Amino acid sequence: MATPKDLPQDIGTFIRDLRQTAKISLRQLADKAGVSNPYLSQIENGLRKPSAEVLQQIASALRVSTPAMYLRAGLLDGEGQLGVLAAIAVDPELTIAQKQSLSQIYETFRNENSRNAPLAPSSSATAETADLDEHEAGASRTTPITVEETK
Amino acid sequence: MATPKDLPQDIGTFIRDLRQTAKISLRQLADKAGVSNPYLSQIENGLRKPSAEVLQQIASALRVSTPAMYLRAGLLDGEGQLGVLAAIAVDPELTIAQKQSLSQIYETFRNENSRNAPLAPSSSATAETADLDEHEAGASRTTPITVEETK
DNA sequence: AGCGTTTGCTTGCAGGAGCTAGCACTCGGG
DNA sequence: CCCGAGTGCTAGCTCCTGCAAGCAAACGCT
């Protein structure tokens, strides 16, 4: 487990700044967030490293979005949005088989566009290439090929 | 701290499903994720509740996006995340026609599941409305004004 | 002066995360 | 049969998170 010193951008300072901006005391925030006030003190002073749940509670009490808090704590790296594949994977309304089918169709479409991309050789192609590279990096993170290998 | 029993949707099962889909052993995933294999076993069997950092590592090893993993673990609540339809709509790698096709297929799948479930199509309409409202609510929940006031 | 309230903090501890060591089992090869 | 490699798991342990108890300081009131 990383020590509090390793936290990027000092989440404790971030929380204290937000709290002071909101003009509430440490105890008021602790009560509101449902954590102990000594622990909040330790967090703000960098003596302890709060869990994601605690961060979630503090974020809620400070009316800050959870992703923003996680981002500051280094628990998210700026990719806030799920890609299509990930959205499919977490959708509770699809069966596993449907998820795999949909993912495969998506991949097929995307591959088709990759092949057809050279057909638009102007600035449009440049823009698409840039998007492609960026999205491919994200796509490889979502394990679409792995899902296909199941069948 | 919530006990592992309280985890929504059983993150352990989710991880095991992904791992098995990827056709890698528990030890291979553990090595790749940088956690011990017994601990991964405990996680998968619901005996331990992993921290966000561990989830991040596992997500990376399974090539799943971190937000998707957090979502499943209940560390994010889906607010601010696009649903499948929205994700398709904003995907820069799809043509309009492909987007429409994919959306239609998704809807078909979802309707099939709604039909198979005792709930009638009204459930499908409700779900869509819920998604829309949820997303709007999510936007207002991010409190960008508060963050801006900090700086 | 005393008192009560609020504030932020330190200390010691319980419980749980994550690990090492190692077990039992399966499979394939000699 | 034996052996080695791979697999998933249990048990005992250390360390850290988050807490309760309580301290010291600041402030306002009588």
Extents of the domains making up chain B: 4-73, 84-150
ipTM: 0.64
pLDDT of residue B54: 93
d(CA A61, CA A82): 26
Nearest to A64 among B23, B62, B143 (CB): B143
Nearest nucleotide by C1' position to the B39 CA atom: C18
- Options 1.10.260.40, 3.40.800.10, 3.30.1540.10, 3.40.630.40; CATH for B4-73 is 1.10.260.40
- Dihedral sign computed on CA atoms, order B35, B39, B42, B47: negative
For all residues of chain B together, what is the average pLDDT?
Answer: 70
C-alpha Rg value of chain A to the nearest Å: 22
**Residue that has been written with the tokens 């949909």 in this structure:** A102
How far does B82 lie from chain A, in Å, by closest CA? 7
Cα A147 to Cα B58: distance, rounded to the nearest angstrom: 16
d(CA A12, CA B77): 23
pLDDT tens digits, A18-30: 898 888 889 999 9
What does the pLDDT look like over B76-125, one tens digit per residue? Answer: 876 555 677 777 777 777 777 887 788 888 878 877 776 654 433 333 33
- Which chain A residues are Cβ-neighbours of B76 within 8 angstroms? 66-67, 70
